Chain A
Amino acid sequence: MTSTWITTRAWLLMLPLLIVMVAIIGWPLVDTVRLSFTDAKLVGTEGSFVGLDNYVKILSGSNFQRTLITTFWFAVLSVSAEMVIGVLAALLLNQQFYGRSILRALMILPWALPTVVNATLWRLIYNPEYGALNAMLMQFGLIDAYRSWLGEPGTALASLIVADCWKNFPLVALIALAALQAVPRDITAASMVDGAGAWSRFRFVIMPYLAGPLMVALVLRTIEAFKVFDIIWVMTRGGPANSTRTLSILVYQEAFSFQRAGSGASLALIVTLLVTVLAVAYAALIRKSAGVS
């Protein structure tokens, strides 16, 4: 068999996938670009070419800026909390204790719970009249009146972040645990003999093994957090007073609630651009970590 034939055969086998990808991803993406330069409505009018109008309006508008900041805080706070708690949990799960294998197995539960169910569950927990959080804090004497955790702009975003963090830190923990188990025993033992304390042991002996996988987890989680929609939609729909409105929620409102397909499309492309920058960083990191190990 000639190598040309093998290559041709490979392309033929890939043809169904490529056709599907072009039809349901490639073409819609191109069409989103086209729409972003028009004032098209979701239903009815085709719209006409308006140049960069949509982009100018969005980038100079306060809605977008405020939403970008909200998204930024959601991503930074939830991802960094997930990383810290995840690594701490992994260090713990790497110790010896009774029931360790059961606890390791249970770590999968929050992650396996569908996002919508997780959001619904926490919405019930935060319920202002009958929620478990209010009941618990009251019984411990930590608050003297029930609060509306998701109903007040001051606490809504923080409450969402807790719910998101609970679901996602176990994933970081499991990835970090897998990396910890790759640290050779004799290295940690040798560093103890050399008199390294717990912190320097973590920093100089264990961290080099954790860095690669954690970087990957960090970037993947950050991309996910920038795209966040489900958990916020189910818990607050972006409210109260738009205090939890993230970029994906804003695109939904613009394109589907207000049916402005044109400016919705340009907003979606701005989000896509942000995510792409993160994804490129991801690819660079993977190449780097592959080169190191």
Chain B
Amino acid sequence: MERRSLTASVLVHLAALLLLVVILAPVVWLFVMSISSTPDLIAKPLHWWPGTVDLSRYGVLLSSVANSAGEAFVASLFNSIKVAGMATVAALMVAVPSAWAVSRTPSVGWSLYAVIATYMLPPVALAVPLYMTLAWAGLLNNVFGLALVYLTILAPFTTWLMKSGFDSIPREIESAATMDGARLDQILRLITLPLAAPVMATAALFAFLLAWDEFFYALLFTSDQRAKTLTVAIADLAGGRVSDYGLIATAGVLAALPPLIVGLFMQRALIAGLTSGGVKG
């Protein structure tokens, strides 16, 4: 690094401070709102820091007293976990074999591009027939139905990630085992899949978060506590007549925690995926 003048160094530090404030201020404010008392939040001039820390809303949202805000929130939390979990497992089950096949058999590679191309489709292009089919099958407002619909997003995504994962495992290892007389299922079970386990874990994590964040299909296909997911529950709170802004903020903090934690700890894998996926396609 070339030497900088003192002025340049001061300017760089000031700019970095500005960027830090821009990035952090909204997130910190969300958290501050969640622990401020209502009088602090509606005071004029606004209290930027709460007089007393009020954690009661976390208790309210995470309790399951019948007919409370907490009951609806906890139900949607479990729905989100169920839907995202089922969709992730199903996506990996179809993605792993096909990703391996495409990775080892370049002649069928074009089909992968067809699969990835569907990832660009706007969800509105599928929404009407999916709604009618779910209604016909009795799967509207149902966690299984929503998980099935989420496969439209997660299956192409995980196939793409797993394919580049298998690409990085040398096929020589597999051919060596073939020469030693191993059958294909043995090779996959004993060699390839264990080597691909870290990629699979990453793919599963990102797929789960993708489903966790999804809103459009959940809004269309769920209507009450039996299937409503967290994102829909939060949008209801934000758009409804709830006057306790702190409660809305608390729901946001709780929904944001899993992806924020994963984002901070998996940053390296995330950026590697973004840049290599972006450049190589």
Which residue numbers of A lie inside 8 Å of B, CB to CB? 3, 6-7, 9-11, 13-14, 16-18, 20-21, 24-25, 27-29, 31-32, 35, 42-43, 89, 92-93, 95-100, 103, 105-117, 119-125, 127, 129-130, 132, 135-136, 138-139, 166, 170-171, 174-175, 178-179, 189, 192, 212-213, 216-217, 220, 223, 226-227, 229-230, 233-234, 237, 247-248, 251-252, 255-256, 261, 264-265, 267-269, 271-272, 275-276, 279, 282-283, 286, 289-290, 293
Contacts of A286 in B (CB 8 A): 279-281
Q: How far is the CA of A170 from the CA of B270 in the complex (A)?
A: 13
Question: Are A115 and B215 in contact (CB-based, < 8 A)?
Answer: yes
CB of B44 within 8 A of chain A? Answer: yes
Question: Are B104 and A108 in contact (CB-based, < 8 A)?
Answer: no
Contacts A113-B259, A212-B279 given; does A124 touch B215 at CB 8 Å: no
Q: How far is the CA of A35 from the CA of B126 in the complex (A)?
A: 11
Contacts A113-B259, A230-B215 given; does A166 touch B22 at CB 8 Å: yes
Q: Determine the main DSSP class of B at the interface with A.
A: helix
Q: How far is the CA of A14 from the CA of B107 in the complex (A)?
A: 13
For B46, give the chain A residue with the smallest CB separation.
A135
Q: How far is the CA of A117 from the CA of B264 in the complex (A)?
A: 17
Contacts A9-B101, A105-B267, A138-B45 given; does A114 touch B281 at CB 8 Å: no
Question: Are A122 and B238 in contact (CB-based, < 8 A)?
Answer: no
Cβ-closest 10 pairs across A and B: A112-B263, A135-B46, A10-B105, A31-B129, A28-B129, A13-B101, A10-B101, A14-B98, A17-B98, A13-B97
For A255, give the chain B residue with the smallest CB separation.
B128
Contacts of A293 in B (CB 8 A): 279
Question: Are B13 and A110 in contact (CB-based, < 8 A)?
Answer: no
Question: Are B255 and A17 in contact (CB-based, < 8 A)?
Answer: no
Which residue numbers of B lie inside 8 Å of A, CB to CB? 1-2, 4, 9, 12-13, 15-16, 19-20, 22-24, 26-27, 29-30, 33, 41-42, 44-46, 93-95, 97-98, 100-102, 104-105, 107-108, 111, 115, 117-118, 120-133, 135, 148-149, 151-152, 155-156, 159, 184, 212-213, 215-216, 219-220, 231, 234-235, 237-239, 245, 248-249, 251-252, 255-256, 259-260, 262-264, 267, 270-271, 274-275, 278-281
Interface CB pairs A-B, < 8 A, 23 = A7-B105, A11-B108, A13-B101, A14-B97, A17-B159, A20-B151, A28-B125, A95-B16, A108-B263, A113-B260, A116-B215, A120-B238, A124-B30, A124-B238, A127-B245, A130-B245, A175-B274, A178-B275, A217-B278, A256-B131, A275-B122, A282-B120, A290-B281
Question: Are A103 and B220 in contact (CB-based, < 8 A)?
Answer: no
Q: Which of B27, B115, B252 contacts A120 (CB 8 A)?
A: B252
Q: How far is the CA of A13 from the CA of B128 in the complex (A)?
A: 31
Query: Min CB distance, B267 to chain A, in Å?
Result: 5
Question: Are B126 and A213 in contact (CB-based, < 8 A)?
Answer: no
For A26, give the chain B residue with the smallest CB separation.
B118
Contacts A14-B102, A189-B2 given; does A130 touch B41 at CB 8 Å: yes
Q: Which of A10, A29, A97 contacts B125 (CB 8 A)?
A: A29
Given contacts A109-B263, A223-B120, 5 further A-B contacts (CB under 8 A): A124-B245, A175-B278, A233-B219, A248-B123, A255-B124
Question: Are B24 and A106 in contact (CB-based, < 8 A)?
Answer: yes
Contacts of B248 in A (CB 8 A): 120, 124
Query: Min CB distance, B124 to chain A, in Å?
Result: 4
Contacts of B219 in A (CB 8 A): 233
Question: Are B16 and A97 in contact (CB-based, < 8 A)?
Answer: yes
Question: Are B259 and A178 in contact (CB-based, < 8 A)?
Answer: no
Q: Which of A9, A192, A272 contacts B2 (CB 8 A)?
A: A192
Query: Min CB distance, A179 to chain B, in Å?
Result: 8
For A100, give the chain B residue with the smallest CB separation.
B16
Q: How far is the CA of A274 from the CA of B15 in the complex (A)?
A: 38
For B95, give the chain A residue with the smallest CB separation.
A17
